[in-house]
Structures are given as structure tokens and as C-alpha cells.
A = this chain, B = another copy of it.
Amino acid sequence: MSIRGVLVPVVTPFKADLSPDRDRFIRHCQWLVSQDCGLAVFGTTSEANSLSAKERKNLLDALVVAGIDPSRMMPGTGCCSIIETVDLTAHAIQHGCGGVLMLPPLYYKKVSEDGLYRYFSEVVQRVGDTRLKIYLYHIPPVAIVGITPKLVERLLKAYPSAIAGMKDSSGDWNNTKPFLDAFAKDAFDVFVGSESFLLANMRNGGAGTISATANVNPRAIHELYEKCSGVCVKRRRNQKALGTSASTPADLEALQARLNVVREVFSNKKFPSMIAALKQAIAIYTNDQEWTRVRPPLIELTTEQAKLLATELRAIGFRWQQ
């Protein structure tokens, strides 16, 4: 029953006055769900930390009202303040969200493992809901404060039901692997923060990926997930009569390589951020310039950068799936 597969840290569209554009947000989420993706709304790529707590809650309410299944949602709820983290987490759990993605408190640096343990303990106890599923969010290039195996071990021991997994956005497979080795057997679900590690993750007992580029390339990423996941193996067995053949390792590696080529385009250091580049791509392919806006301190792509992005996507034969 736990969330697995490809989750999208959904980009948040803004109106001219920089308020969240609820309608475009809902439409984008509906499209992502139609591509078999879950919704990790309010992540780093969502500019969640540039939103107020109230804006996050209003947007989540709007998704639920729009009829999107909350069990496929994993909203980001980690703030620096226990009070605000508990508030957002309780709100998400009350909506029936499949889980929450929780940043560590990131203001103070070089905090102790003990301090982080106490922080997450307080959150679990204050939320006090057996439905709570926390996915710890490790993103050291941004949060600086990180999640260590030792911390996971202590938390899992104390709260085996509430501590459901993690997202590793270290960008370092040597960081991800020890978590899989130590905790995957305990139903601790490890998501990689980039689809470039998806195949490796699935081969080592991982649960999927929560990746920024799934905002524009959801179907292809999900295809790799499906082809290499156990779920898919089981389904294929049932479909033997239909003549579906299992993918070979080489097939999977070819799919992985194609995903990497797309991601590479968005990772171009010439762009002010991957977030702005993703929004620009959505604007290009939906022919809707409203999508380009970001909230300060982020900035949009220049006209020249937008042209470069369009050119490079054409050059790699990128196709927008409807």
C-alpha cells in the first residue's frame, strides 16, 4: 500500500502577481497522474520554501477538491520549526496523503544527530497519527543539514511505522547504496532524487525516484521504473499468454541512457536553475508563457537561454507526451 514508483516534485505555476496559479497547478497534476506518476508536491523543485504555509495548505486542499487521489501524494512538509512542520504534516495526513516528504530543520548547521533525532521524535509524537508515513529528505547541496544512516537506524527503531523511507538527493550513489543495504529489508523505501540513478536503485531494492525532470518527462521515466520493478515482473508473468517479453538488462540500460540525455539538457549550467528551465520547457510545449514565472530569489531564463533550451530539446529528439 505504500507509495512506490515515479513521484514528481511538481513545479508550482505563478500568476503575474506571483500568487500560486491554482488552475494550472491542478491541470499539471492531473496530467502527471495520467502518466502514472505520484505527486511529491511542495518539494525543492516546487519552490515550496518560497511559499507560505497557508499557500501550501490551500493548494493541497485544491488538489483534493479537484478529485486527485491523496494516496498518490507525498507533500513536502519539513520546516525549520517543529510547530510548522507538525501543522503541515497533520494537514496532509488528515487529507489521507500517502506520506510526507520531510526536510530536516536546516537553519542551524553542524547540529548533532541527537538534536535531529529529538526533532523528528517531537514531530512524530505531536502529529500522533498512526497513518503517518514520513519520508526523510536528504538534499545536502541545498539543505546542508543531512540525514545519516545512524539517524535512520535510531528513528526506525523508535518509530518503525512512521519512518517509511527517504529521498536521497545527494547525487551520489555511494551515499544511497548504504541506506539500501541497511534498511531496504525493513520496508524502508529509498527513492533516488534523480532518475539517473533509477535503474541502480531498482536493482538494489529501491522504491523508485522523486525527480524534478519527471515534470516534463514522466512517461519515459515511468517506463523504466515499470520495466525494472518487481511489480512489473509480476504483471508480466500474468501476461505471458499475451506474449509480453521481459526486458533484458541491455534494454533497461538503453532506457536509462535515454533518460540521462534528457536530464543533461535541463542540468545545463548556463540556465539560472533547473527549476526555471523546467518551467520554460512546460511553457514551450504547452504554448503557455504563463508557466515561465518563478518566485524570487529564483529568476527566469533569458530569451536567449529559452531559445537554447528549445534548440537542445529538439536536437535530442525530445517529445512531449500528451
Contacts and interface: CB of A to CB of B under 8 A. Distances in A.
Query: Could you say which interface size class chain A belongs to?
Result: 35 or more
B51 A104 contact: no
Interface stretch (A128-136, A204-212, A296-304): A296-304
B84 A52 contact: yes
B55 A111 contact: no
Nearest to A109: B142
Interface of A is mostly: loop
Contacts of A44: 107
Oligomeric state, in number of copies? 2
A112 interface: yes
Contact of A50 (B82, B87, B299): B82
A289 interface: no
A83 interface: yes
A240 to B, nearest CB: 49
A194 B296 CA distance: 30
28 contacts: A18-B82, A44-B107, A49-B80, A49-B105, A49-B108, A50-B82, A51-B81, A51-B83, A52-B83, A52-B87, A54-B83, A81-B295, A105-B296, A107-B142, A108-B142, A108-B273, A108-B297, A109-B142, A111-B298, A112-B272, A112-B299, A115-B272, A115-B298, A115-B299, A116-B297, A118-B297, A122-B296, A144-B144
